[in-house]
Amino acid sequence: MLRVREGDSSSFALLLSRHRAPVVNFLFRMVQNQAVAEELAQEVFLRVYRARQTYEVSAKFTTWLFRIASRLALNWLRDTRKEKAQASLDREVADGVAWEVADRAPTVEHTLVKEARMAEIRRAIARLPEKQRAAVLMHKYQEMGYAQIAGVLGCSEPAIKSLLFRAYETLRGRLSHMG
């Protein structure tokens, strides 16, 4: 990011090409809606673009990037919940099997089973407390280490370790029958 500011060996375009998919994918799994995820990701990169002169050299860029992304996602989830849409998200995820299968032509049993599993996974993740959800997604899908997740979520590293352990414990309980 420092380099972007100095304009010598990196660029906003390059940052975008490197981080676009990870940020959108993370946001997708946070909010479980691709259109919303992309909208939030645009906001993330807009902020990156605008903040490129004031960026602190000491902080790691990816940590900073995911801090913005997490905040936006958590705000969106809170606003959405305020609008009582969380309940409908839960319903949507629960009903996911029905509508997703109805949406698509193949009716093979295999597809049904797969969709059912996916819906269960999405629901299990969606039911995690928001911070746990963010931590699990960054740990599992972005392959971030504890220190970095702690940096993103503004917690201590030991706190993140036990938060993650609890989150996975919950998920193992919820999805144990799938193994």
Partner 1 sequence: MRHLAQCVMQSGDEAGLLLDYCAGRLSGEREEAMRRHVALCESCRQVVEGQQSLWSALDAWEAPEVSAGFDQALARRIETAPFYQRWLEYFSWKPALSAVAVAAALLAVVTLREPAAAPVPAEADVADVEKLEQALEDIEILTVLNTAGQPAQM
Which stretches of the chain bind partner 1, using CB under 8 A?
3-5, 7-16, 18-21, 24-25, 28-29, 34, 38, 41-42, 45-46, 49-50, 52-53, 60-62, 114, 117-118, 121-122, 125, 139-141, 144, 146, 148, 157-158, 161-162, 164-165, 168, 171-172, 175-176, 178-179
As measured in angstroms, the least distance from the Cβ of 179 to partner 1 is: 3
Min separation Cβ 84 and partner 1, Å? 26
Closer to partner 1 by Cβ: residue 60 or 131: 60
72 with 91: CB under 8 angstroms?
no
Q: What tokens does 13 get?
A: 């375009």
Nearest CB to partner 1, comparing residues 53 and 107: 53
Q: Which is nearer to partner 1, 12 or 112 (CB)?
A: 12
Report the first-to-last Cα separation within the chain, whole angstroms: 42
Cβ neighbours for 161, distance < 8 A, ≥ 6 positions apart = 146
C-beta closer to partner 1: residue 77 or 125: 125
Closest separation between CB of residue 176 and partner 1, Å?
6
Smallest gap from Cβ 141 to partner 1, in A, equals 8
Place of tokens 């000491």: 58
Q: Which of 176, 175, 21, 30 is nearest to 89 (CA)?
A: 30
Of 54 and 82, which CB lies nearer to partner 1 in the complex structure?
54
Please state the closest distance from residue 107 (CB atom) to partner 1, in A.
Answer: 20
Query: Please, is 100 exposed, middle or buried when counting C-beta atoms within 10 Å of its C-beta (0-12, 13-18, 19+)?
Result: middle
Alpha-carbon dihedral of residues 33, 124, 21, 5, nearest 10 degrees? 100
